Amino acid sequence: MSKKPILIVKAGGTYPDMAARYGDFEDWFIARMDWSAGTVETVSPFSGAPLPPVASYGGIIITGSHDMVTEKQPWSEKAADWVKQVVEAEIPLLGVCYGHQLLAHAMGGVVGDNPKGKEFGTVSIRLNPDGCEDRLFDGTPETFVAQACHSQSVLQLPAGATLLASSELDPHHAFIVGRRAWGVQFHPEFDGQMLRLYIQRFANDLVAQGLDVDRLLADIRETPQSERLLRRFQRLCT
């Protein structure tokens, strides 16, 4: 294994009441990672912390956020420039939800409101032939379930990116750009309880979209195939 640590780039934080009970975004990732694989560090650019030299790390994970990439906040645009350096240096990178969209934006893709509306719930993800052959998804069934919680999506992939997976509401659920930079719209760090709390918090918005919140809650399942991606990513950071 690489002796360099993995860096979690914290693009935001969860709600204070959730953080008090379950920890914050970085804790959810760390709980599903392999501690024997090495150390993990965290940096919070949304709070003003500077991003470190990319060569200091064996791999990088970018978390979700309650912000939107399309807001182009100064910290986020600086992070996008930094992401380009990570991709060019071929350091393994995994962008999740906001991180997925930030990676696409940084590399020239287009991010915006999902024209099919918000995607919340335990959703079915389908790997395409490229996804079935991809190292990050090695051993993952062609169809698996994952937790989704987003209103914006990658509307157009960056030039040269390869699409890996889709859902019914989002054709760009996973992609790779460069040799070692992956984006996934779904949340491998979420368990069913975390998703349940987010659905309850956004219930009014979901009802306004015409969604059956009770059905979304009843259909929540645990997603072990999705969660395993985090340990598989760690193995790629060697």
Give a yes or no: residue 1 inside a domain. Answer: no
If DSSP states are collapsed to H, E and C, what string results for 25-72?
Answer: HHHHHHHCCCHHHCCEEEECHHHCCCCCCHHHCCEEEECCCCCCHHHC
Whether residue 137 is contained in a domain is answered as yes
The sign of the dihedral angle between the CA atoms of 81, 87, 89, 93 is positive
CATH number at 218 reads: 3.40.50.880
* pTM of the predicted model as reported, rounded to 2 decimal places: 0.96
Per the structure, the count of domains in the chain is: 1
Residue 187 appears among annotated catalytic residues: yes
pLDDT of 37 reads 59
Residue-number span of the structural domain to which 54 is assigned? 6-236
Catalytic one of 26, 187, 227, 237: 187
Q: What's the pLDDT tens digit per position in 201-214?
A: 999 999 999 999 99
The residue from 97, 100, 149, 172 that is catalytic is 97
Does residue 35 sit within a domain?
yes
Q: Which one of the listed residues 119, 189, 227, 237 is annotated catalytic?
A: 189
Over residues 85-124, the pLDDT tens digits come to 999 999 999 999 999 999 999 999 999 999 999 999 999 9
